[in-house]
Amino acid sequence: MELVVLLCAVSLLHSCEARESSAVTPVFVQKREDVLLNVTIADDPEEDTVTWRFNKTVNLVRFLPGNLGTKVSDDYSGRIEFLEKYSVKLKNLQEADSGVYTAVVSGDKEKQITEYKITVQDPVSPVKLSVDSVSNSSDWCNLTVSCRAQDSHINSTFRCDTHTHTCSQEGGERPQVTPSAADLHVYLSNGYIICNHSNQVSCTKDIKIIENVCPRHAGPESVSAGLSVCLLKTAVLSVGLIIMVAAVITVHLMEKLKKHK
């Protein structure tokens, strides 16, 4: 019984995240790394050819029907590794490998089985967070910071109240998309100013402690103007977990009570 409740709760949590039922699976791969092109075919098409294709036109590899084996295209020789059945590993991806990968079964007609949209990304550059100016009074400490990445930078202003020991970010978080399509943003978290530079495959950050910049102004209970998506997700997940554990305990207690009767 407990197990059932637990499983239900887990599957509920999962269904929140895995709502991505479109036919194309987006995949992000760091440059020079490998990708597994997975495919499962319900009934094995022994009479037909199965082909992995790039951008709908270029064949990577063909699984020939019968016992005729496999044929890797010259352009991809040395870069394909065979896994289970029709799944393959494509190695050492470069920017030019970004595009659409499809698995196609060709018999009397062509039928597409799987489609991945692969984007190859460089890891993001390091960031440097610096304090540009501090203005100080008995009531306030205001500071502006800037965060520099290789191809962009971002500014932000923070205001700390001496009396309430709280800081806030003026204008909230304003994430910026860099020319290389990475995300650059500065935010406040537990008395720290954090600059975060991230894309789908990597993340770099730099941190300043507000107390070192504005002594006696910033308390540990500094609040952020906007909650980051990441934090929100964690919060939702934690609440879910608590509910789950509560449910398990309740059921357990109820069963015990029943036994006593």
Ligand X SMILES: *[C@@H]1O[C@H](CO)[C@@H](O)[C@H](O)[C@H]1NC(C)=O
Q: How far is the CB of 31 from ligand X (least distance, A)?
A: 15
Q: Which residues of 30-43 are buried (b: 16+ CB within 10 A; e: fewer)?
A: beeeebebbbeeee
Instruction: Tell me the per-residue interface mask from 30 to 69 with ligand X, x by CB under 6 A, - otherwise.
Output: -----xx-x----------------x--------------
Q: Which of residues 5, 6, 13, 27 is near ligand X by CB under 6 A?
A: 27
Stretch that binds ligand X, among 41-49, 64-72, 154-162, 251-259 (CB under 6 A): 154-162
Nearest CB to ligand X, comparing residues 1 and 230: 230
Nearest CB to ligand X, comparing residues 100 and 242: 100
Residue 59, φ and ψ in degrees, nearest 5: -80, 135
Considering the rule CB under 6 A, would residue 112 count as an interface residue with ligand X? Answer: no
Q: 7-16 long-range contacts, Cβ below 8 Å, gap at least 24?
A: 9/240, 9/243, 9/244, 9/247, 10/244, 12/240, 13/237, 13/240, 13/244, 16/236
Considering the rule CB under 6 A, would residue 134 count as an interface residue with ligand X? Answer: yes
Nearest CB to ligand X, comparing residues 7 and 203: 203
Site for ligand X in 213-252 (CB under 6 A): 230
Considering the rule CB under 6 A, would residue 140 count as an interface residue with ligand X? Answer: yes
Nearest CB to ligand X, comparing residues 159 and 165: 159
Cβ neighbours, 10 Å, residue 55? 10
Q: What does the alpha-carbon distance between residue 167 and residue 140 come to, in Å, rounded to a whole number?
A: 10
52 three-state secondary structure: strand
Q: Which of residues 116, 127, 178, 195 is near ligand X by CB under 6 A?
A: 116
Stretch that binds ligand X, among 71-79, 147-155, 218-226, 250-258 (CB under 6 A): 147-155
Site for ligand X in 155-214 (CB under 6 A): 155, 159, 183, 194, 196, 198, 203, 205
Q: Which residue is listed with tokens 């984007």? A: 119
Nearest CB to ligand X, comparing residues 48 and 97: 97
Structure tokens at 224: 């952020």
Q: Which of residues 125, 142, 168, 224 is near ligand X by CB under 6 A?
A: 142
Of 85, 90, 41, whose CA–CA distance to 63 is shortest?
A: 85
49 three-state secondary structure: strand
Residue nearest to ligand X (CB): 99
The set of residues, in sequence order, having a beta carbon less than 8 Å from that of 197 and lying 6+ positions away, is 124, 125, 126, 127, 147, 149, 178, 182, 183, 184, 203, 204, 205
Q: What does the alpha-carbon distance between residue 98 and residue 51 come to, in Å, rounded to a whole number?
A: 18
Footprint on this chain of ligand X (rule: CB under 6 A): 25, 27, 35-36, 38, 55, 96, 99-100, 116, 134-137, 140, 142, 146, 153-155, 159, 183, 194, 196, 198, 203, 205, 230
